[in-house]
Chains A and B, each alone.
Chain A
Amino acid sequence: MALVCLGVAQPRADAVSVKTLLDRYAAGDFSGISAALDQTRDFNDILKQLKRDGPNWIAAGGPGDRARRELAAATFALEAARAGELTDWKLVQNWMTLENIYWHAPPLLIEWGCTLLLKTPTPQPIERVWHLAVLAAVDRANDYEFLIGSPWEGRANPKDEIKQLNHAIARFPTERRFALAQGIAAEWRLFPTTRTRAKEAQQIFENLKEDAQVGGEATVRLGFMQLRNRHFPEAVALFDAAEERSREPFVVYLARYFRGQALERQKNVEGAERAYRSALAVVPRAQSASFALSTLLAARGHRAEAASLVGAALSVKPLPMDPWRAYGEADARFWPELIEMLHAEIRR
């Protein structure tokens, strides 16, 4: 069944020529295009123009420039999808006896770019970066169903699912971040159903916890599931193990911060305080550990230090990325690095 884009109709105050935007983008005007996309309201129009004019624009560069232009167009589509994330990604409609998913422009823009890159028989290394950047954009939008499909058996029509991660894994089967992303999506897509019984996600994290690339993060996420389930000693053991497996500040901060939470719930106030302080050694002035520590201190009568911690966490400019705040957005933290790599490749 063809996917029909019903999009929330917005007045077209911003009629833009996508070909012009692509020219500027391929020439390296990334910040200018990003600003233009931020002002865009009608992403359906961008999608429509890309489908209509994109192939000719790519061909116009000749065979020697084809791969670069394909990457530029796919990356432009990805940036447009990310800019449009505040518009809804999908619509579920009932029609006769079928329930169909109508995808909106942002995910369809990604799909258009993906199709473009899939035409290359042998995946190039930069395509892996592009798929990782997709993950970063989609995780930020919290659209876990776009990545692996819907858990609502009675709602979704399998034919309408996109399951973007399947495309990425088919091209790069050894990239463990895609496997980890399946686990994260499997856990988070369950909401609003309780996530305490996310068996599928738990199994994926178990399988990955010894992995050299993503084992640390898989372990910390496994530990957080134990924390949710109030299995505190098991959770603490996993947080300790996570730090043995990773030095990534995001992972180490979470391991220490969650450790503090687990210990606090076990009434081990001194241990929790040490854990929160050690988390702040990883990301100084991060709000989650700053606030957790200050409430502990205030409860023990140390209001001056508590106030000082809160004041410092609020006054720092710019605010440091807080791994707890970014926990559900997962790979979104890699977006700046990934988009820079894509831009560098397009500039060549």
Chain B
Amino acid sequence: MTRPRMVLIGVVVAAAVVSVVAPVSGRRVEPQTPQAVFRTNTDLVTVPVFVKGSDGKIGSLSAQDFALTDNGVPQRIEMVDGESIPADVTVLMETGSAIEDYRKGVNEQVRRIAAMMRPTDRIEVLGIDDYVHVLVPFGPPTRSLEVGTFTGGGMMSVNDALVAALLREPSPDRRHLIIALTDTIDTMSTATMATVRDVARQSSSTLVVAWITLSQDGDPSPGVPWATASERLDRHIKAPVTLGARGLLGHPDPARPTARTVPARQQWTPHYDPPKGRRWEAFDVLREAAALTGGSVHPPGVFVDRNASTIFDKIYAEFRQNFILRYLPTGVTRDGWHDVTVTIPRTPGAEIRARRGYLVESAAPASTPTPGTRAMTTLDALIEAAGTSDLPAMRAAIATADSPERLTTLIADFQKAGNVRPASPRREFIAALMLADAAISASSEPLRADALGLLRRYRALVRSPLGPDAFDDEWMASAATIADAPLSILGSDRRTDMNRHLTRLVELARPAK
């Protein structure tokens, strides 16, 4: 369910640190089922604006100096004191094993960052490695901040982390600043850079990427200021042998490894093949993403100091200098995408770089599948009971198939449904056994064939990936008890055997603690 929200967008006119702002495509992303439901006065739109004139300076500005349109319709705006609006700050930091040297100081850096913030602000720290981790959850900067220990993997899910931060719903009464301290070299994310851009286009947050170069090499190839670990590996493999790497008489000198020596740190293999020839231009899409939020990408060299708190200080200071415009949209449909333009008519030479709009979510529910209203079937009841390995309930469900035809249908439906408990398949295996047992007990030749077919099918699935274990053995023994039972001696002994098997299987299917 959606909730009313005040939309907060950032429109930033550039500081001089970024060289190029990529053009923004005019593509709109709109909900598929928009509904024109205009909700409460919390639909006030707040637009942070950072202004820099053509001469590098800007005088004092008032609301009357700005012109703002929402979907082409001029709006009446007011200006709010930027200092009165607290900020939520998300700091993204790499925590993978490639940054051993600077992760040791993470706690100190986080504390320094927090000390620069206002008491009314909030800070969270997300770590990036194979996974995205919440290192410090959102909270006031005045609390005791301790990132604690973390064991980063060797890969980087940078795009996923950027998407995660951009999709965080900022509090309606706050601005959200995301500062990503990363070399942006992604090796295993779900999201591509284009996805980051698409999410950024709709985000209410301001994204600033502070590019820190993590290369361990002191000798990057000309024109390539940074490289992934794997690219460094590639370079080492292909590099020519150099005489300087050899000791006297051409023997290897352990203290001076050859140019073709694999780098000293373990290299992980990225999940994706990287683009050929990584260049600054390869990151145009990311720069566009940041620009769409009113933020920017600071290339390597701008922040020569890798010190995270120094970088934060510069970005946060810029962020706080924003002018804050506010308006209640009039003359436009509430839901859907809104194009926003901000200009300063009396200063046409001002460089303007800003996010281009905001999205107001439709009041229509998300596309989450909703449970149907149909009556629970025998199969549903069996699957539900299987979910808790509730043997009596499973028996009861199967018993409702009270004729050979119904039992045949139930077995067919069960097989067709397939993988009914994907997170805990052993529960499905137990249900299959019980169905086969019921079919054998029905003393019907076609049902006996169904039962044997079911057992054959599951015999192939039940095997543990490491080879037979106690559950597999018990299941096979149960299947044998069912399959070997002659129709004429379906007596209490077999029933007792089956009960014992099933009880044991339920115990073995329990997840290990």
Which residues of A pack against B, CB within 8 Å?
6, 8, 85-96, 128, 132, 141-142, 144, 152, 155, 175, 177, 188, 191-192, 194-196, 212-214, 217, 228, 243-250, 252-253, 273, 277-278, 281-284, 287-289, 291-292, 294-295, 297-307, 310-311, 313-315, 319, 322, 324-325, 327-328, 334, 337-338
Cβ-neighbour of A85 out of B168, B266, B367 (below 8 A): B266
| Given A287-B160, A328-B271, residue A314 in contact with residue B132 (CB < 8 A) | yes
Task: Evaluate contact between A304 and B233: CB separation under 8 angstroms.
Answer: no
CB neighbours of A302 from chain B (8 A)? 31, 361, 366-367
Cβ-neighbour of A287 out of B1, B157, B270 (below 8 A): B157
Say whether chain B's binding surface is mostly helix, strand, loop, or mixed.
loop
B412 CB, nearest partner CB in chain A, Å: 16
B30 in the interface (beta carbon within 8 A):
yes
Complex formed: what's the CA distance from A311 to B189 in Å?
Answer: 17
- Residues of B219-267 at the interface with A, using a CB-CB cut-off of 8 Å, are 230-231, 233-234, 237, 241, 245-246, 250-252, 254, 257-258, 260-267
| Given A213-B465, A247-B428, residue A307 in contact with residue B169 (CB < 8 A) | yes
> What is the 8 Å Cβ interface bit string for chain B, positions 122-162, against chain A (1 contact, 0 not)?
00001000111110000000000000000001110100100
- Residues of B356-370 at the interface with A, using a CB-CB cut-off of 8 Å, are 359, 361-362, 366-369
B84 in the interface (beta carbon within 8 A):
no
Task: Evaluate contact between A307 and B168: CB separation under 8 angstroms.
Answer: yes
Complex formed: what's the CA distance from A294 to B191 in Å?
Answer: 10
Task: Evaluate contact between B465 and A249: CB separation under 8 angstroms.
Answer: no
| Given A90-B262, A303-B169, A314-B134, residue A338 in contact with residue B160 (CB < 8 A) | no
Complex formed: what's the CA distance from A306 to B29 in Å?
Answer: 15
B199 in the interface (beta carbon within 8 A):
yes
CB neighbours of A213 from chain B (8 A)? 463, 465, 467
Please give the number of chain B residues whose Cβ is less than 8 angstroms from any Cβ of chain A in the complex: 83
Task: Evaluate contact between B366 and A247: CB separation under 8 angstroms.
Answer: no
Task: Evaluate contact between A86 and B164: CB separation under 8 angstroms.
Answer: no
CB neighbours of B428 from chain A (8 A)? 247
CB neighbours of A307 from chain B (8 A)? 167-169
Complex formed: what's the CA distance from A183 to B188 in Å?
Answer: 20
Task: Evaluate contact between B198 and A304: CB separation under 8 angstroms.
Answer: no
Task: Evaluate contact between B273 and A301: CB separation under 8 angstroms.
Answer: no
> What is the 8 Å Cβ interface bit string for chain B, positions 454-466, against chain A (1 contact, 0 not)?
0000001111011
Which residues of B pack against A, CB within 8 Å?
1-3, 29-32, 34, 97, 126, 130-134, 153-155, 157, 160, 163-164, 167-169, 188-191, 195, 198-199, 202, 230-231, 233-234, 237, 241, 245-246, 250-252, 254, 257-258, 260-271, 273-274, 336, 359, 361-362, 366-369, 418-419, 422-423, 425, 428-429, 460-463, 465-467
A178 CB, nearest partner CB in chain B, Å: 12
For B336, give the chain A residue with the smallest CB separation. Answer: A301
Cβ-neighbour of A142 out of B267, B336, B425 (below 8 A): B267
A239 CB, nearest partner CB in chain B, Å: 13
Complex formed: what's the CA distance from A315 to B134 in Å?
Answer: 7
Cβ-neighbour of B361 out of A245, A283, A301, A319 (below 8 A): A301
Task: Evaluate contact between B157 and A297: CB separation under 8 angstroms.
Answer: no
Task: Evaluate contact between B419 and A243: CB separation under 8 angstroms.
Answer: yes
| Given A287-B131, A303-B169, residue A298 in contact with residue B202 (CB < 8 A) | yes
| Given A87-B266, A94-B241, A328-B271, residue A301 in contact with residue B30 (CB < 8 A) | yes
| Given A294-B167, A315-B134, residue A155 in contact with residue B425 (CB < 8 A) | no
B311 CB, nearest partner CB in chain A, Å: 23
Complex formed: what's the CA distance from A228 to B273 in Å?
Answer: 9
For B274, give the chain A residue with the smallest CB separation. Answer: A192
CB neighbours of B31 from chain A (8 A)? 300-302
Complex formed: what's the CA distance from A96 to B252 in Å?
Answer: 9
Task: Evaluate contact between A295 and B230: CB separation under 8 angstroms.
Answer: no
Cβ-neighbour of B190 out of A249, A288, A298 (below 8 A): A288
CB neighbours of B466 from chain A (8 A)? 132, 177, 334, 337-338
Complex formed: what's the CA distance from A325 to B231 in Å?
Answer: 20
CB neighbours of B189 from chain A (8 A)? 291
Task: Evaluate contact between A247 and B425: CB separation under 8 angstroms.
Answer: yes
B329 CB, nearest partner CB in chain A, Å: 17
Task: Evaluate contact between B268 and A212: CB separation under 8 angstroms.
Answer: no
B472 CB, nearest partner CB in chain A, Å: 11
CB neighbours of A305 from chain B (8 A)? 366-368
B114 CB, nearest partner CB in chain A, Å: 20
CB pairs A–B below 8 angstroms (15 shown): A85-B266, A92-B262, A142-B266, A194-B273, A195-B273, A247-B422, A248-B465, A282-B422, A288-B190, A292-B191, A298-B199, A299-B198, A301-B359, A304-B169, A314-B133
Cβ-neighbour of A327 out of B2, B199, B254, B271 (below 8 A): B271
A60 CB, nearest partner CB in chain B, Å: 33
CB neighbours of B254 from chain A (8 A)? 6
| Given A301-B29, A325-B131, residue A93 in contact with residue B366 (CB < 8 A) | no
Q: Which 7 pairs across A and B sit closest by C-beta, in order of nearness?
A: A301-B31, A247-B425, A305-B366, A302-B366, A192-B234, A282-B422, A307-B169
Complex formed: what's the CA distance from A6 to B466 in Å?
Answer: 36
Complex formed: what's the CA distance from A83 to B443 in Å?
Answer: 59
Cβ-neighbour of A91 out of B195, B202, B262, B273 (below 8 A): B262
| Given A291-B163, A319-B131, residue A142 in contact with residue B269 (CB < 8 A) | yes
CB neighbours of A89 from chain B (8 A)? 266
| Given A6-B254, A155-B237, A301-B34, residue A88 in contact with residue B271 (CB < 8 A) | no
Complex formed: what's the CA distance from A288 to B190 in Å?
Answer: 6
Complex formed: what's the CA distance from A91 to B10 in Å?
Answer: 51
For A322, give the chain B residue with the smallest CB separation. Answer: B131
For B426, give the chain A residue with the smallest CB separation. Answer: A247
Complex formed: what's the CA distance from A315 to B336 in Å?
Answer: 29
Task: Evaluate contact between A191 and B264: CB separation under 8 angstroms.
Answer: no
For A304, give the chain B residue with the smallest CB separation. Answer: B2
Q: Most chain-B Cβ atoms within 10 A of its Cβ — which of A128, A273, A298?
A: A298
Q: Most chain-A Cβ atoms within 10 A of its Cβ — which of B2, B168, B419?
A: B419
Given contacts A94-B260, A304-B3, A314-B164, 12 further A-B contacts (CB under 8 A): A152-B237, A192-B230, A217-B465, A247-B462, A252-B425, A283-B423, A301-B30, A302-B31, A303-B167, A307-B167, A315-B134, A325-B153
For A132, give the chain B residue with the smallest CB separation. Answer: B466
Task: Evaluate contact between B231 and A192: CB separation under 8 angstroms.
Answer: yes
